[in-house]
Amino acid sequence: MEKKIMLTGDRPTGRLHIGHYFGSLQNRVKMQNEVDECYILVADVQALTDNFNNPEKVRKNVREVVMDYLSVGIDPEKATIYIQSMIPEVAELTVFYSNLVTIARLERNPTVKTEIAQKKELFGESVTYGFLGYPVSQAADITAFDATIVPVGEDQSPLIEQCREIVRKFNSIYGDVLREPEVYLSETKRIKGLDGNEKMGKSLGNAIYLSDSEEEINKKVMSAVTDPSRIKKDDKGNPDICMVAYYHNLFSTKEECEKVCAECKAGTRGCVACKKQLAKNISDFLEPMREKRAYYEAHPEIVDEIIIKGTEKAREKAKEVMAKVKKAMKLDYFEK
C-alpha cells in the first residue's frame, strides 16, 4: 500500500490568526494522526518573494509561526517541522523544474494572477522572476518529500494543479520518478475579517491572532463591524450583515447564536453586550493555546531544537528524492 505523505506549511510573515486555525491548522492537527508521514514547512524562501526588502521580518517570524504550530497541537513527534531555506535540494529542484514551465503558463495561473494584482503597489508593472515563479518552487517543496496529499484552500488549488503538470512533464521525459500529489480541500471557507473583508490579514488590521491577549481581543471585537442601520440600542438589527453575529457562529454554542440573533432582530440586546459576550467566548477558546505558547516563549531552546531536528530529518528525505531525480536526469556523475 502506498504511503500517505502530507506536506503543508505557511509563510513566516507574521503570527497566525484565527483564519489560519479554521482554514488549515485544525485540519493539520487531525491529519497528523492519519498519515504515514507529515511535513510542515516554514516557507521563508517563498515569503521573500514579496518581502525581499525586509528579510528581518521573515527571520523574526520563523519562530513565531513554529510556536503557533505547537500551541494549536502540532506534535513534533508526529509532524516534521522544518525551514524551507535550509533544504538546498528544494532550490536545486526549482532550477530543474523551471525548464519545464513556460512564462505564459505561470501568467495564466489564476492564483498567481490574483496575487500579482494584490501586490501591484509593491511591484508596479514589473513583477519579479521569483514571485512569478513561486509555483515552481512550491512544486519542488511538494515533490522533494514524495508528498501524496497537499491540504489547501480552494483558492490555492491551481498551484497544486501546476505542480501535477510539472510532475507529469518530468516523468514523461525522464521516467516514472516523481509522485503526483492529490489536493485535500479544506471544508471550511475562508474566515472574514472583523471589518467584513473577505480576507483576514495583518496589513488590513482586521485579524485576531492565536496569541492575542484577552485585552487585545476585547479591543478588536469592540471595533467589529455591525449592522450600520442599527444606531440605538433598541433598534432592530439584521444579524446577517453583522460581523459580531458571524463570529458568534464560530465561537459560541448553537443556543447562544440563536439567542443572539433573535435578540438582535427584536432590538432587545445592544451591540456592546453582544460584543462583550463574543470577546469572552473567543478568549476562552484561545486560552489553552495562549498557555501552551507561553511555555514555548519561555523556552526558546526547545523551539530551536524542534526546528533543528525537523530540518535535519527533512533534509535526509529530500536527499533521497534528489538522488532519484539526478539519476533519472543523467546528472549522477561518478556515482557508483
- Is 47 contained in some domain? yes
**Is 240 found in the same domain as 314?**
no
**Is 258 found in the same domain as 176?**
no
**Is 315 found in the same domain as 170?**
yes
**Is 262 found in the same domain as 218?**
yes
Q: What is the DSSP letter of 17?
A: B
**Is 35 found in the same domain as 165?**
yes
Residue 242 structural domain: 214-293
- CATH at residue 117: 3.40.50.620
**For the chain, what is the domain count?**
2
Q: What are 246-283's pLDDT values in tens digits?
A: 999 999 999 999 898 888 888 888 888 899 999 999 99
Residue 155: predicted pLDDT: 78
Locate cell 464560530: which residue?
A: 250
- Is 202 contained in some domain? no
pLDDT at 74 over 70: yes
**Is 257 found in the same domain as 239?**
yes
- CATH at residue 239: 1.10.240.10
Residue 188: predicted pLDDT: 67
Q: Contact at 8 Å (CB) between 251 and 286?
A: no
**Is 233 found in the same domain as 118?**
no
Q: What are 120-172's pLDDT values in tens digits?
A: 777 777 888 999 999 999 999 999 999 999 988 777 888 999 999 999 999 99
Helices 271-298, 243-251: axis angle to 10 degrees equals 50
- Is 209 contained in some domain? no
* CA 90 distance to own-chain centroid: 19
Q: Contact at 8 Å (CB) between 164 and 180?
A: yes
Closest by CA position to 156, among listed 175, 183, 131 = 183
**Is 154 found in the same domain as 9?**
yes
- Is 198 contained in some domain? no
